[in-house]
Amino acid sequence: MAVVDSTDVAPEADFDPVLSLTRRRRGSTDDAPAAATDSSRCDGGGRDTDGCGFEKVKSAGDEGEDGKAKAGDGGRETELVAKYAYRASAPAHRRVKESPLSSANIFKQSHAGLFNLCIVVLVAVNSRLIIENLMKYGWLIRSGFWFSSRSLRDWPLLMCCLSLPIFPLAAFAVEKLAQYKYITEPVTVLLHVVITTVALLYPILVILRCDSAVLSGVALMLFTCIVWLKLLSYAHTNYDMRALARKVEKGDDTSETANLEFSYEVNLGNLVYFMLAPTLCYQTSYPRTACVRKAWVARQLVKLIIFTGFMGFMVEQYINPLVQNSQHPLKGNLLNGLERVLKLSLPNLYVWLCMFYCFFHLWLNILAELLRFGDREFYKDWWNAKTVEEYWRMWNMPVHKWMVRHIYFPCLRNGIRKDVALHIVFLISAVFHELCIAVPCHMFKMWAFMGIMLQVPLVVLTNYLHKKFSNTMVGNMVFWLFFCILGQPMCILLYYHDLLNRKGTFD
């Protein structure tokens, strides 16, 4: 049997029975009209077409001298199309084509129908889960859902949070002294090290000495980490700007000084704006928008309240009963632990996605709008990440930019290899993840630390899969499986049971 190559197949228009019929009826032997594409017949490009895109067929006697079509032509043309369009001699297979779900074609197709199917299935499955949960546990939302008497005992953490602005003011005073050269560069660096260290240790000691709620401690630690990252960026950026300013004073016109975008200046207004702005990277000026859209801000605030309430509902109604009725995943039956992890994965995924949407999209955009902060790229399409490394570059852009600017590239400039610099970045991230969870829980089990460091072999694995299976989403599936389906629920169970064993109760 002969194999037909796609290059030997004539254009689709050459096999069009309607077009061939038109040629015969018009007595045309010129191939130029036959080369017209389907689009020229569908867009009304000078030809008479019907509603289905077929060209109306007219005989020579159908038109008079005035060029007007006679009545009754529509029925005859329809009969001619039906008679000649799909006869047995007309070819049914014309080109080499791939199946829509083949690897070469799957990402070129629209999957709107499958997306709608997923939505319908999710609604159906979750409706069943809601009914099952209500039948099994009843209504679990307590009267103290938003506020309880326990919250009144967390006032030391609130006072600590309100006192943290002292450290940016101290950093500003150090930079002013350095600007007027009242202190030397080594002294400036030493003072910044002391300020940033105290700014991190002070809230940790307050949380460890107070018997506060876990949620209050987590909120304070997140705020502390943000302040610490901003302080380090402020000190590092000013240090670099002073170095460039000294080169300019010496007349050292290098490429670095030629590309100097901002002049070195220490301004209190710049620091205050930086500490409030939704960014972790300091610079003396930022892109700004023209005005504040008050109605837009109001709509986002309503969304923030709704999604925050939904997160609390999911935690109280679904996650709490699941973890309370579970065993320690590393000490109990393996199958029971795996079943509980998989059962916890769906509500945990909902809460995690809502948390991402509330913070990275709603809250940061609201803050940016109020401050007229122009760069709103707080995240990219991380859900399409094909490797774990690509995910970490896309899901949290403020932290990613900070890591690249103040950790990764400084390591490369100092002669450190790329793989070692990458391990250093993950190490710093792991330390801060552990601090944000272990300090409020008053225990250091290193689960969060190990969870982040295990991302390194996942980076290697997904990079290998991406190179081996090109144009596929195998790495994306591995990311969703290990990060959201298994990793986060496992950490929740581990910390819950370790905290329960330590205190006997869980807040």
Nearest Cα to Cα of residue 459 among 388, 356, 391: 388
Task: Establish how many alpha carbons lie within 13 A of residue 357's alpha carbon, considering only the half-sphere containing its beta carbon.
Answer: 17
At residue 91, the pLDDT reads: 78
For all residues of the chain together, what is the average pLDDT?
A: 78
Give residue-wise pLDDT tens across range 414-446: 999 998 999 999 999 999 999 998 898 888 888
C-alpha to C-alpha distance for 362 and 382, rounded to whole angstroms: 17
**Does 55 score more than 50 pLDDT?**
no
At residue 274, the pLDDT reads: 94
Give residue-wise pLDDT tens across range 304-337: 999 988 888 888 888 888 888 777 777 767 787 7
DSSP states of 103-126: TTTGGGS--HHHHHHHHHHHHHHH
Q: Which two tokens stand for residue 71?
A: 């009545």
How is residue 55 annotated by DSSP?
A: B
Q: Which two tokens stand for residue 204?
A: 């940790």
Q: Rounded to the nearest 5°, which phi and psi values hold at 218?
A: -65, -40
C-alpha to C-alpha distance for 347 and 126, rounded to whole angstroms: 10
Per the CB < 8 A criterion, the answer to whether 380 and 400 are in contact is no
**Does 54 score more than 50 pLDDT?**
no
Q: Which two tokens stand for residue 249?
A: 């004073």
Active-site pick, 192, 433, 466, 497: 433
Number of other CB atoms surrounding residue 39 within 10 Å? 9
Q: Which two tokens stand for residue 323?
A: 């973890």
C-alpha to C-alpha distance for 436 and 175, rounded to whole angstroms: 29
At residue 79, the pLDDT reads: 63
Q: Is 442 exposed, middle or buried (0-12, 13-18, 19+ CB in 10 A)?
A: middle
Q: In b/e form, how buried is each residue of 226-249, taking b as 16+ CB within 10 angstroms?
A: ebbbbbbbbbbbbeebbebbeebe
Give residue-wise pLDDT tens across range 264-297: 778 899 999 999 999 999 998 899 999 999 999 9
Q: What does the domain layout of the chain look like in residue ranges?
A: 6-84, 110-139, 380-507
> What are the residues whose beta carbons fall under 8 Å from the beta carbon of 128, sequence distance 6 or more?
none
For the chain, the distance separating the N- and C-terminal CA atoms, rounded to the nearest angstrom, is 75
Per the CB < 8 A criterion, the answer to whether 19 and 90 are in contact is no
Distance from the Cα of residue 461 to its chain's centroid: 21
| pLDDT interval class at 119 (50, 70, 90) | confident
Q: Which two tokens stand for residue 192?
A: 């910044």
Number of other CB atoms surrounding residue 320 within 10 Å? 16
C-alpha to C-alpha distance for 176 and 192, rounded to whole angstroms: 12
C-alpha distances in Å from residue 234, one per residue of 169, 279, 288:
12, 12, 20
Residue 433 annotated as catalytic = yes
Q: Which two tokens stand for residue 234?
A: 């402020």
In SS3 terms, 197-237 reads as HHHHHHHHHHHHHCCCCHHHHHHHHHHHHHHHHHHHHHHHH
* % of the chain with per-residue pLDDT over 70: 76
**Does 180 score more than 60 pLDDT?**
yes
Alpha-carbon dihedral sign for residues 9, 13, 18, 23: negative
At residue 372, the pLDDT reads: 93
How is residue 63 annotated by DSSP?
A: B
C-alpha to C-alpha distance for 33 and 46, rounded to whole angstroms: 12
Single-letter residue type at 219: A
Number of other CB atoms surrounding residue 26 within 10 Å? 14
Give residue-wise pLDDT tens across range 196-252: 999 999 999 999 888 777 888 888 999 999 999 999 999 999 999 888 888 877 776
Q: Which two tokens stand for residue 140?
A: 């679990």
- With tokens 């036959």, the residue in question is 34
C-alpha distances in Å from residue 193, one per residue of 196, 234, 314, 490:
5, 12, 42, 36
Residue 46 Rama label (left phi>0; alpha psi -120 to 50; beta): left
**Does 68 score more than 70 pLDDT?**
no
Q: Rounded to the nearest 5°, which phi and psi values hold at 373?
A: -80, 125
At residue 8, the pLDDT reads: 40
